[in-house]
Amino acid sequence: MKKAHVLLFDGYADWEIGNVLAEIRRLGQKEVISVGFTQEPVTSMGGLNVTPDMALADVRPKEVLILILPGGYLWEGEYPQNLIDPLVRQLQDQQVPVAGICAATTALARSGILFGKKHTSNSIKYLSDRVADYSGHNDYMDQPAVRDGHVITASGLAAVEFTMEILSELDLATPEMRTLWFEAFKHGNYPEDH
């Protein structure tokens, strides 16, 4: 059975992926695997210490339901691009969804998978300033989260929208349940009959 894979690294933005990981497991009944650049323990921005289940080099694309990249300052500096880019491109070639939020959108842009796809980020200036050869201006959407061609991107302020796009991409739960979830978590509209 395919599993959701989430890349964790020192300083990853833990709050950006909290909802989506919980709902992949709760609503979607799918397993989540944590992946690190190595299997050494990492610490999130919030101080959570985690030992990844596996190293990025050991990921088998045929076992990946989706690859989720949280934001974090790592993406704004040096990182093992030689490890992440080939995997991201291979997953896209196999039509396996890849999702990046906040600064992780810069990694997706550098990998080349945003080319020709509608996408978003923290702002178009944010992407342009941090990705030297960024050329996706015509495909940039000024929206909280965007899904196109098995690629999901989101602003760092849009963790709920990011979750909704991933749940929709993976067709987890019913459309009605997803709408109820979104209304509850985004707008505080908890359904009275639940």
Active-site positions?
Answer: 102
What is the full DSSP assignment across 130-179?
A: H-TT---GGGB--SSEEEETTEEEE-TT-HHHHHHHHHHHTT-S-HHHHH
What is the full DSSP assignment across 91-139?
A: HHHTT--EEEETTHHHHHHHHTTTTTS-B--S-HHHHHHH-TT---GGG
Tokens coding 27 = 């609503």
Which helix (H) or strand (E) is 78 found in, with range? none
Q: With contact defined as beta carbons under 8 Å apart, do 3 and 37 qualify?
A: no
Instruction: Report H helices in 37-80.
Output: none
Q: What are phi and psi of 173, to 5 degrees?
A: 65, 180
Residue of 187, 122, 164, 150 lying closest to 24 (CA atoms): 164
Which helix (H) or strand (E) is 66 found in, with range? strand 64-69
Residue with token string 């991933």? 166
